[in-house]
Amino acid sequence: MRILTGIQPSGKLHWGNYFGAMQPSIAMQDQGETFIFIAQYHALTTVRDGAALRQSARDVALDFLACGLDPNKACLFRQADVPEVHELAWLLSTVTPMGLLERCHSYKDKLARGISANHGLFAYPVLMAADILAYQSDCVPVGRDQKQHVEVTRDIAAKFNQAFNCEVFKMPEPRISESVAVIPGLDGQKMSKSYNNTIGLFEDPKTVKQKIMRIETDSTPLEEPKNPDACRVFALYKLFANEAEQAEMRENYLRGGYGYGHAKKALLEIYTRTFAPFREKRLELEANPKLVDDILAAGADKARAVARQTLDAARLACGLD
């Protein structure tokens, strides 16, 4: 089984990205042949700063490697190292109905938020389809917000196969990790860099502490029982905790005599404990840039060879050989 996912380098990664996208895709490296790439071209639909894009792409690679991506198991590469996806994106765009793209929620949401649309933003799902189809992916782990794009990919693949009477593209399946479908941010909305409510993966420990301590809670007095399911601190704690730890924390809330301050302290501790080895690994990688360059170069070579084969088959099907 081939598993593929991409992540945009459009800012520092946060807990929502980690639990919604990174952790599930890193876990996949043990389940099949995994490709994980840094979607620079997609980020370009919104980022307007070359130095920042370069740095973010590097940061994403370091973050994945620090958090457990094993380059011997999974192929990690940068999208811009595989130019084949652009030619494929064009071939796909010629069979993509306008209406299919006009219906995409993420495009409509951006318009509704007053972002002036460029063609890249509109054509975004076609490039994403090219990413997915180029590697003959079976399974695409993504957050719920990206599910529609994988469905659009299936539509586009079917249209191409039908139009040229071929079987060039395989039908990919989205994989949404339901238990962690939407990670709440500090304000209770979806955690997102657009809402300024994030906790960064490798943010400095002092800031993490301040952010956790500032999470709004209700005014139930310390001695009274509290509802864990209505509390943002508990929602975040659950992400890090195993079943026994979750049950114990739930019990603390329901019993009373346990304040939100205690829960926040427990959240800070469990995050710190979980991330300590990742922080250490990240420092090691930062000190060894050549190693990271080599991993990305080897990943690009492997990815390019697969994309080339698919592109050649697509070119043949539509008479461009």
The CA distance from 176 to 179, in Å, is: 9
Task: Tell me, yes or no, if 281 is annotated catalytic.
Answer: no
Q: Which of 57, 140, 199, 311 binds ligand TRP (CB under 6 A)?
A: 140
Binding site for ligand ADP (CB under 6 A): 7-8, 10, 16-17, 20-21, 142-143, 145-146, 182-183, 190-194
Structure-block tokens of residue 317: 């099907």
Q: Both tokens of residue 103?
A: 């219906």
Instruction: Work out whether 6 is an interface residue with ligand TRP (CB under 6 A).
Output: yes
Q: Can you tell me the distance from the alpha carbon of 115 to that of 213, in angstroms, rounded to the nearest whole number?
A: 33
Nearer to ligand ADP, 198 or 252 (CB): 198
Closest approach, Cβ 75 to ligand TRP, in A, equals 14
Question: Does residue 146 interact with ligand TRP by CB under 6 A?
Answer: yes
Choice among 12, 159, 170, 193 that is catalytic: 193
What are the DSSP calls for 294-312, one per residue?
A: HHHHHHHHHHHHHHHHHHH
Binding range to ligand TRP, per CB under 6 A, among 139-147, 206-214, 269-277, 307-315: 139-147
Which residue in the set 76, 142, 183, 215 belongs to the binding site for ligand TRP (CB under 6 A)?
142
Among candidate residues 69, 25, 294, the one with its CA nearest the CA of residue 174? 25
**Are residues 228 and 265 in contact, defined by beta-carbon separation less than 8 angstroms?**
no
Q: Is 206 a catalytic residue?
A: no
Q: Is 193 a catalytic residue?
A: yes
Residue 136, both tokens:
């003959």
Q: Three-state DSSP class for 184?
A: strand
**Owner of token pair 């603390």:** 252
**127 vs 130: CA distance, rounded Å:** 5
Binding-site member from 3, 8, 239, 300 for ligand TRP (CB under 6 A)? 8
Which residue carries 């196969």 as its tokens?
161
By CB under 6 A, name the one of 14, 42, 154, 238 that touches ligand TRP: 42
Binding flag, residue 131, ligand TRP (CB under 6 A): yes
Which of 190, 226, 238, 264 does the annotation list as catalytic?
Answer: 190
Q: Provide, rounded to whole angstroms, the least separation between the CB of residue 237 and ligand ADP.
A: 16
Nearest-10 Cα torsion for 81, 52, 41, 66: 60
Choosing from 13, 26, 38, 39, the residue that interacts with ligand TRP (CB under 6 A) is: 39
Residue 183's binding partner among ligand TRP, ligand ADP, none (Cβ under 5 to 8 angstroms by kind) is: ligand ADP
Which DSSP category does 85 fall into? H
Interacting partner of 134 out of ligand TRP, ligand ADP, none (Cβ under 5 to 8 A depending on kind): none
CB 19, CB 180: distance < 8 Å: yes
Q: Where are the beta strands (DSSP E) in the chain?
A: 2-7, 33-38, 74-78, 139-141, 173-175
Residue 3 as a binder of ligand TRP (CB under 6 A): the answer is no
Return the residue matching tokens 């469990």: 270
Least separation, in Å, of the C-beta of 165 and ligand TRP? 26
User: By the criterion CB under 6 A, which residues form the site for ligand TRP?
Assistant: 4-8, 39, 42, 128, 131-132, 140, 142, 146
Residues with active-site annotation? 110, 190, 193
